[in-house]
Structure 1
């Protein structure tokens, strides 16, 4: 059975929500947790925080959150014809467009991730996403021909992007897609806003990407559960205690389609233009930057259980890999993940 397609511009291609919030009930102590929520990016956001002495009223905080998310949507959404990225994608080869520094920084981040992944990750993968039926302009999931894949791959390549002063330029008619890092960037932006308003204790979740700082009023930590990908039920593989950390999970089991008995994941390797076919079901990355965690979870998912684990081991990435075994699932943590979250100290 095919997965249900959504209009979510950030999680459709890049991320599958595998994180389940846990342990968010309060005990007394005279303080409360303010809780904000709303729609964004075709999905939802949730903000929980303990107000500081100088923190504005919740309505004012929510207005700031909504303003940040609306700005990001207007800049990065491939589902909006009037967004900055959609305008850039329509430009021909040899063109440049002025961009805010935030967008240019995301392009630099994408370049770094492309280098770390040996080209598996690429922000210009939009033509391949559309070809396989997972994009904003797609007409349904389909298995393209080898000739179609070759033609789409000719339109992909992060090396065709250049930053000149405050302009983004391209020497080929490449198209950008920020789905793999946009939600993590949004989490960092909202978190920074809260800290600027005197908030030292919060949990921010946007389309499944998370960051937490400090503690709840009763002194307990923010906890999240990493979900093991069982159909029709929720099983926690690990429960993490967070403080000053962002968390992102990429997975292959909730956004896919099947044709002729074969399953095609939404995660597409730019090196060959095709969906991943290895046994890795999900990867969770923990990092001080939600943006970095977001991008790295995609990178490791693309590289697979062997190459991905090797990169995590060499680069000191805190990552938890969950793989299909044929009889179920098996998890494997990188040394940095086990060092940060010892198995004997589960909350």
Structure 2
């Protein structure tokens, strides 16, 4: 067992172990300095967006905990109020309920999030598709209950007819931002980038409060900056895709980046003896069935990493590696081949690896 480590649980993906370093997300030139050695970090954690969040802070006065917890809770509530598909009155839910074609106002941050998702969707040739909501719901991984039997092809085709990135437009003007759809039944699901989005926003919150040594996570997305309580860079350990919580696959030093992991082996259900993953392939309209069980991506922001890891999971090992090579992505993939797990990584990811 590695000393000084903390485990985080993600409902839909595999767990990640966080040791410590990361990213400057705001326009701030103050370099982080190591806190006093062996100081205890201030840890604030809880539930949000159907998963867990954790904020670890080094060199922060414990008397600030109440104020920080209030600010963190407010930020997460704001994010959830924008992009939740489970809250009927969120900005995104109201957009999904709207069946007209007039532009609908959104915040600048939400518009930027959708632009990021559309860009990754285009680069993955639709493998990462935030309009796949009707299929997510059909297969029982959205706000609606899981089906009692496997959907038929006609149901799948009907749901697919209500999807497509080409039907969603982001409008940026000096006076504001809007989302627009030209398909009445278009249903946008931002869960594929939501954890990264919330994580980046927590990091920005720390920066605004003048905190320079932190590690923040929402679900499987992580951002960190500076040093931990022992005066060492924060590091992140990727868990093996097993039920053993402390089975470490690899450890990385983020070096000013965000990281996110997506996996197909924990969030699933069974119907008539068949196992169905929560990751839906937009091309087939069905849950993925290939051998890739985990994809970890390191990107400049957690939002980007969160979007890329989903797209790579949809594509499968060979196509994911080809895409990583094409775009210079830092990716770490785990495939299940028989009873064994096989790992693949891009040269860009290897540059972040550290020895345990």
Q: TM-score over 0.5 for the alignment?
A: yes
Residue 307 of structure 1 deviates from its aligned partner by 0.3
Q: Distance in 2 between matches of 1:216 and 1:122?
A: 36
Residues 190-238 of structure 1, C-alpha deviations (whole Å, 9 max, x = no match): 1011112221111101122111111124322212221111235542111
Residue 301 of structure 1 deviates from its aligned partner by 0.7
Q: How has the CA–CA distance of structure 1 residues 108 and 346 changed in structure 2, closer, same or farther, with 3 Å as cutoff?
A: same
**Alignment partner for residue 58 of structure 1, among 61, 65, 71?**
65
- Give the secondary-structure state (helix, strand or coil) at the position aligned to 1:172: coil
Q: How does 1:206-217 map to 2 (within 5 A)?
A: 206-217=218-229
2:235 is the alignment partner of 1:223: yes
Q: Which moved more, 1:204-213 or 1:55-64?
A: 55-64
Q: Which moved more, 1:41-50 or 1:328-337?
A: 41-50
Q: Tell me the residue number matched to 2:32.
A: none
Q: How does 1:187-336 map to 2 (within 5 A)?
A: 187-232=199-244, 234-336=246-348
Q: Distance in 2 between matches of 1:94 and 1:28?
A: 57
Q: Distance in 1 between matches of 2:133 and 2:72?
A: 28
**Alignment partner for residue 120 of structure 1, among 127, 131, 141?**
127
Residues 112-142 of structure 1, C-alpha deviations (whole Å, 9 max, x = no match): 0110111111111110001111110234364
Residues 261-304 of structure 1, C-alpha deviations (whole Å, 9 max, x = no match): 43221100112211111100101111220101111111111111
Q: Tell me the residue number matched to 1:36.
A: 44
Q: Tell me the residue number matched to 1:7.
A: none
Q: Tell me the residue number matched to 2:18.
A: 21
**8 Å contact kept, 1:23–1:223:** yes
Gapped regions of structure 1 (runs ≥ 5) = 1-10
**Alignment partner for residue 67 of structure 1, among 74, 77, 91?**
74
Q: Which moved more, 1:197-206 or 1:28-37?
A: 28-37
Q: Which moved more, 1:36-45 or 1:103-112?
A: 36-45
Q: Distance in 1 between matches of 2:203 and 2:79?
A: 14
Q: How does 1:94-243 map to 2 (within 5 A)?
A: 94-140=101-147, 142-164=149-171, 165=173, 166-173=177-184, 174-232=186-244, 234-243=246-255
Residue 76 of structure 1 deviates from its aligned partner by 0.7
Q: Distance in 2 between matches of 1:195 and 1:106?
A: 20
Residue 75 of structure 1 deviates from its aligned partner by 0.6
Q: Distance in 2 between matches of 1:39 and 1:233?
A: 19
Residues 132-167 of structure 1, C-alpha deviations (whole Å, 9 max, x = no match): 111102343642111111110000011111223422
Would you say how many aligned residue pairs link Structure 1 and Structure 2?
330
Q: Distance in 1 between matches of 2:63 and 2:218?
A: 21
Show structure 1 runs of 4+ deviating over 6 A.
none
Q: Distance in 1 between matches of 2:37 and 2:103?
A: 56
Q: How has the CA–CA distance of structure 1 residues 120 and 141 changed in structure 2, closer, same or farther, with 3 Å as cutoff?
A: farther
- Give the secondary-structure state (helix, strand or coil) at the position aligned to 2:196: helix
Q: How has the CA–CA distance of structure 1 residues 209 and 142 changed in structure 2, closer, same or farther, with 3 Å as cutoff?
A: farther
Residue 313 of structure 1 deviates from its aligned partner by 1.5
Q: How has the CA–CA distance of structure 1 residues 250 and 89 changed in structure 2, closer, same or farther, with 3 Å as cutoff?
A: same
Q: Distance in 1 between matches of 2:146 and 2:199?
A: 31
**8 Å contact kept, 2:252–2:352:** no
